[in-house]
């Protein structure tokens, strides 16, 4: 870069960083494996230690009861009794609430739709009346069946013997049985309608669904603990942080050095401005260079130095006269900035060669 510009670090290569990290991990893999496989201080040793601690915790040691014994003899009996008592109290409270509020809840549901409630009451009354009749035939239906049987027998020249009486009784019995089945079916339909149109008092008053304890997730979580994980991780967080720290440190050092050089150059240019008169103060603004490079980039100061010391007089006069307007026009025509910047970079480079 230029005399007063920071020397930017080389761009970080993702492939290079990942490759270096992977090569380092592969190089250290045998030592890492040997350390972790050691029976003295590696994973096997810690596994045995964990198993021993687990065994002593669960089974006990030196007369001290373990968790299994404590749970079996002390904890579980008390927890079971406490849970049973809690369930009993909760159920008694639920039943008490339903007893106190169940009738009121049912009446409230009926009052919300009185027409449907009246219809259901009438259907329930008919179903109960017919169901209570059992297999008995209504008198009108019984007489109709008798007349049908007797007419049929008389048409065949019969109707006065014991066989005719038995035939009549059989027909009436079959009809009575069918009627009873129809009554039972009608009652079942009404019962289904009652269940569909009547709010369950327990759900309406208590509003508590059943609680299912899902232990599958707990078991899966324990199984995931046995996952051996990845052996190699070129994109490890530590490696990425290390590369970033190195890059930031180099960038900060370059920027600090450039700031020092810029301050020195600014002091020298300030002295030159005092000697140069008012026209030099105006040109010190360097509108075009600041528009091309940006005010935060010290490269515009380097171009101003070339402009004041090496530029032809005609260019300096042209810059003084039209530089500010040209900079405003250039801010609206970004496409021309690369060409102008290329020219300015070449002038700054001539300062370095000189």
Q: pLDDT tens digits, residue range 133-176? A: 777 777 877 777 777 767 776 666 665 666 666 666 666 677 77
Q: What is the pLDDT of residue 187?
A: 84
Nearest to 285 by CA among 295, 275, 277, 271: 295
Q: Which of 58-72, 170-184, 262-276 has the highest mean pLDDT?
A: 58-72
Give residue 281's pLDDT band: very low, low, confident or very high (50, 70, 90). very low
Query: Mean per-residue pLDDT for 283-292?
Result: 77
**What is the per-residue pLDDT for 26?**
92
Strand, helix or coil for residue 148: helix
Helix segments in 198-215, DSSP class H: 201-205
Band of pLDDT at residue 205, cut at 50, 70 and 90? confident
Structural element, H or E, at residue 64: strand 64-65
Q: What does the pLDDT read at residue 137?
A: 73
Higher-confidence position of 89 and 238: 89
- pLDDT of the residue at 280: 46
What per-residue confidence (pLDDT) applies to 261?
58
The residues, ordered by sequence, that sit 6+ positions from 153 with a Cβ below 8 Å of its Cβ are 159, 164, 167
Q: Is the pLDDT of residue 254 over 80?
A: no
Of residues 36 and 134, the one with the higher pLDDT is 36
**Kindly report the CA angle at 200 between 198 and 204, in degrees rounded to 5?**
115
Asked if 71 and 78 touch (Cβ cutoff 8 Å), the reply is no
- Lowest mean per-residue pLDDT among 101-105, 274-278, 291-295: 274-278
Over range 91-118, report the average pLDDT: 79
Q: What is the pLDDT of residue 142?
A: 76
* Mean of all residue pLDDT scores within the chain: 75
Phi and psi at residue 65, to the nearest 5° = -65, 145
64: phi then psi, degrees, rounded to nearest 5: -85, 120
pLDDT of 213: 42
CA 304 to chain centre: 57
Tell me: pLDDT of 260 over 60.
Answer: no
Q: How much of the chain is in helix, strand and coil states, percent to nearest 5?
A: 80, 0, 20
Average pLDDT over residues 20-26: 87
pLDDT of residue 354: 58
pLDDT of residue 345: 93
What backbone phi and psi angles, to 5 degrees, belong to 60?
95, 170
């Amino acid at each position: 870069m230029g005399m007063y510009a920071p020397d930017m670090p080389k761009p970080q290569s993702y492939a290079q960083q990942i490759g270096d990290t992977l090569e380092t991990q592969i190089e250290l893999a045998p030592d890492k494996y040997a350390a972790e496989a050691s029976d003295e201080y590696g994973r096997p040793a810690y596994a045995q230690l964990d198993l021993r601690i687990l065994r002593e915790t669960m089974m006990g040691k030196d007369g001290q009861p373990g968790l299994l014994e404590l749970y079996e003899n002390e904890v579980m009996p008390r927890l079971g009794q406490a849970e049973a008592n809690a369930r009993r109290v909760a159920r008694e409270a639920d039943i008490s609430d339903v007893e106190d509020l169940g009738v009121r809840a049912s009446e409230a549901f009926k009052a919300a739709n009185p027409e449907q409630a009246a219809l259901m009451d009438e259907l329930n009354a008919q179903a109960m009346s017919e169901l209570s009749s059992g297999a008995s035939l209504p008198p009108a239906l019984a007489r109709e069946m008798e007349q049908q049987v007797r007419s049929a027998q008389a048409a065949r020249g019969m109707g006065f013997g014991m066989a005719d009486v038995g035939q009549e009784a059989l027909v009436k019995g079959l009809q009575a049985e069918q009627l009873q089945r129809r009554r039972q079916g009608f009652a079942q339909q009404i019962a289904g309608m009652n269940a569909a149109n009547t709010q369950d008092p327990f759900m309406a008053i208590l509003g508590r669904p059943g609680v299912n304890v899902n232990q599958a997730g707990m078991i899966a979580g324990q199984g995931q603990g046995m996952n051996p994980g990845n052996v190699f991780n070129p994109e490890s967080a530590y490696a990425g942080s290390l590369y970033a720290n190195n890059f930031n440190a180099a960038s900060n050092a370059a920027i600090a050095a450039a700031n020092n050089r810029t301050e020195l150059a600014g002091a020298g240019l300030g002295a030159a401005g005092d000697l140069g008169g008012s026209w030099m103060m105006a040109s010190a603004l360097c509108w075009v260079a600041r528009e091309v490079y940006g005010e935060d980039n010290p490269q515009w100061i380097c171009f101003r130095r070339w402009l004041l010391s090496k530029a032809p007089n005609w260019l300096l006069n042209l810059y003084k006269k039209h530089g500010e307007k040209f900079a405003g026009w250039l801010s609206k025509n970004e496409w021309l900035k690369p060409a102008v910047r290329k020219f300015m970079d070449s002038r700054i480079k001539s300062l370095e060669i000189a």
